[in-house]
Structure 1
Amino acid sequence: MRRYISFIIILLGLVHSTSHAAENTPTFKLSGDVSLLTHYVENGLSQTDNSPALQGSFWFNFGPQFRMGLWGSNVHYDNGGDNFNLRGNADIKIDFSTTSNAVIMYTYSKYFNEDERTGNILALHLNFGTYRVMYDSMSNWEGTHKRNTRLGFGKATQVFTDWIWDNEIGYNSPDVNEISSYFDARTALGTNWGVIFFEGAVTGTSAPSDLNGAGDIFVILSAKTGF
């Protein structure tokens, strides 16, 4: 807890020192999106046991830097029935330039009918043009009540004129004796068709046998629209 407090104090100081980069008048508005996926996979790990998922998010933007909201998805694990994951989110964006920023995020992740997975996530994401660097700290990784830290790197590239090729790799260090550190990877190709973004993706991990099949290679199709 003291580490979290010190981390937040340092980053709030960074917000103050760079606040001149976002001097826009606050625009209080609502935003959100809805997604339909053939399979929900997060950081290389299956969350719906190869079943479809319907997801939605809702944000209230307090200005150009701060927002709060909710995100929800159905989930399913091999040791239980259908469940629901509801997340309360808050993030602060610090603009360094028109193409680079840092985003500090906090998430409280609540599971219904699968409460042993409930926990929180503290994250720092850095965006530099089409590149991104991510640090995520999870308090209850996969219901083990053990911490996991993930360091990720990603890049989105425009190809074929109006398609987006998005790639990401992460290094996970779960504090679980039975599972060694492992990599997860995702590559995806998507495009907009009207107001809907269609995407096909392939994910996998470097340790599928240690993860009881949850980290196998998966092919995912999705459709997403925002408002």
Structure 2
Amino acid sequence: MRRYISFIITLLGLSSAAWAAENTPTFKLTGDVSLLSQYVEYGLNQSEGSPALQGSFWFNFGPQFRMGLWGSNTNYKNSDDHFNLRGNADIKIDFSQDSHATIAYSYSKFFKEGDRDGQILGLHLNFGSYRLTYDSLSNWEGTHSRSSRIGFGKETVVFTDWKWDLEAGYNSPNVTGISSYFDLRTALGTNWGVIYFEGAVTGTTAASDLDGTGDVYFILSAKTGF
């Protein structure tokens, strides 16, 4: 963990140097809205198979730093938590025209019980169409225990204007009775006007240990941004 913090401090220093080299920042608001047939995050169902409406809003403090909010309806067994609101902040460090790193932080708040409240700290690396991610969660699935995830993904253009996205993640929850497991996701999508339509299949290697939340799911989604 100390090495991870040291690495973040080093990247922040590089970010400050890169910021000074940029032109005058453009301050603007960006965001997106998504409608999903069900909400599944890293292979785990967050809406009990029900549709989900999600939205995010970001205020960009120039080309590298931004802060914002993300929200989604949720549904869990034996819980009154039906909405998740996240306060987000991230810093982007460009290495080249098509490669960069992002340091991301989220405070995740659930309404109304709040048993799943927690923090998410991430380091995401992008190299062209490839990405490598590391995320640390302070309260994994409401267990009040930590978990970490290492993910590897790739996006490929197929059929001229379709995008095929493939991602695999290795999850290590510090929870008694639950072993480390993989989550897998494959998706195919395309733009139709200003809306991006996607069909995805996701699942985990530990569905029996996760009380059915890590089964194989098919998700349809539509997303538009501004």
Measured against the shorter chain, the TM-score band is: over 0.9
The code of the aligned residue for 1:192 comes to N
Contact 1:24 1:64 in 2 (8 A): no
Superposed CA offset, 1:136-182 (max 9, x none):
00000000000000000000000000000000000000000110000
Contact 1:18 1:96 in 2 (8 A): no
**Structure 1 counterpart SS, 2:12:** helix
Contact 1:171 1:182 in 2 (8 A): yes
**Structure 2 counterpart SS, 1:80:** coil
The answer on 1:15 being equivalent to 2:11 is no
**Structure 2 counterpart SS, 1:210:** helix
Equivalent residue, structure 1, for 2:111: 112
Equivalent residue, structure 1, for 2:85: 86
**Structure 1 counterpart SS, 2:207:** coil
How many Å separate the matches in 2 of 1:164 and 1:96?
24
Q: How far did 1:225 drift?
A: 0.3
The answer on 1:187 being equivalent to 2:186 is yes
Q: Percent identity?
A: 74
Contact 1:72 1:87 in 2 (8 A): yes
Contact 2:196 2:224 in 1 (8 A): yes
TM-score relative to the length of structure 1: 0.95
Contact 2:11 2:93 in 1 (8 A): no
**Structure 1 counterpart SS, 2:9:** helix
Runs of 5+ unmatched residues, structure 2: none
Alpha-carbon RMSD across the aligned residues, in angstroms, is 1.6
Equivalent residue, structure 1, for 2:165: 166
Equivalent residue, structure 2, for 1:28: 27
Equivalent residue, structure 1, for 2:218: 219
How many Å separate the matches in 2 of 1:143 and 1:193?
38
Aligned residues: 226
Equivalent residue, structure 2, for 1:49: 48
